[in-house]
Amino acid sequence: MVQQKQQTPGRPRSEASHQAILQATIDVLKQQGYRATTIEAIAAEAGVGKKTIYRWWSSKAEVALEALTAHSNTHVPFLDTGSLQSDLLSYFERSFESLRGESGMLLRGIVAEALLDPAFAATFQRVFIVPRRASLVELLQRAQARGELTAETNIEVLADMIFGAKWYRFLLYPAPLDTTFAQEIVALVSCHRA
């Protein structure tokens, strides 16, 4: 077994700095909010030169995105519990809880950046939006395979409506993301039962 230690010349990247930057990003975001957070503040908080950040990320949004995804509780798993209703309720329960916390604030900032910067939008969609939507589509396909949804049900668009409802409330409409809402969505989806 060959040692695969990708050996470039020069001093290797400092993993300590890498982690310090991510942690500092979280800390500063918590204290200042997304907009007020600056690369300078992150560098100062991490005890790191600004150049060290710019060497590895191209913008505040990129750092924030990595900080968000590195956060353990961020990726809400889509569990296979055996029924469409419990699959969705289980997912919403975890997702809503995460969005109500500081991950929510961070995510709102990241979405804002994606809306303002097409290049970052592409990254964000690739690493965040598309995989999660794929998982939801998969969940719905399992349900369809089990006969819980009619064969004619347009899974793709149903996924847009389910995620849409969540994001609409999260980003735009000032209404709570709670268990009641989750149950109401599931109830509406149930009309597509075979």
Closest by Cα among 170, 166, 168 to 182: 166
Work out whether 36 is an interface residue with DNA (CB under 7 A). Answer: yes
Q: Give the nearer residue to a second copy in terms of CB position, either 2 or 174.
A: 174
Work out whether 71 is an interface residue with a second copy (CB under 8 A). Answer: no
Burial-class residue 18 by CB neighbours within 10 Å (0-12, 13-18, 19+). middle
Give 109's contacts (C-beta < 8 A, 6+ positions apart): 29, 33, 34, 35, 37, 61, 64
Work out whether 11 is an interface residue with DNA (CB under 7 A). Answer: yes
Q: Scanning residues 16 to 55, which ones bind a second copy (CB under 8 A)? A: 34-35
Work out whether 119 is an interface residue with DNA (CB under 7 A). Answer: no
* DSSP category for residue 72: G
Which amino acid is located at 158 in the chain?
Answer: L
Work out whether 33 is an interface residue with DNA (CB under 7 A). Answer: no
Long-range contacts of 68-76 (CB under 8 A, 24+ apart): 68/103, 68/106, 68/107, 68/110, 69/127, 69/128, 70/22, 71/26, 71/103, 73/98, 73/103, 74/98, 74/103
Considering only residues 26, 34, 45, 60, which one is a binding residue for DNA as defined by CB under 7 A? 60
| Binding partner at 137 among a second copy, DNA, none, C-beta below 5 to 8 Å by kind | none
For residue 29, the minimal CB distance to a second copy (Å) is: 12
Considering only residues 54, 82, 119, 190, which one is a binding residue for DNA as defined by CB under 7 A? 54
- Nearest-angstrom CA–CA distance, 145 and 9: 53
Considering only residues 39, 70, 129, 137, which one is a binding residue for a second copy as defined by CB under 8 A? 129
Work out whether 8 is an interface residue with DNA (CB under 7 A). Answer: yes
- Nearest-angstrom CA–CA distance, 36 and 56: 21
List contacts with DNA (CB under 7 A).
Answer: 7-14, 17-18, 20, 36, 38-41, 46-52, 54-56, 59-60
List contacts with a second copy (CB under 8 A).
Answer: 34-35, 108-109, 111-117, 125, 129-130, 133, 153-154, 156-158, 160-169, 171-175, 181, 184-185, 187-188, 191-192
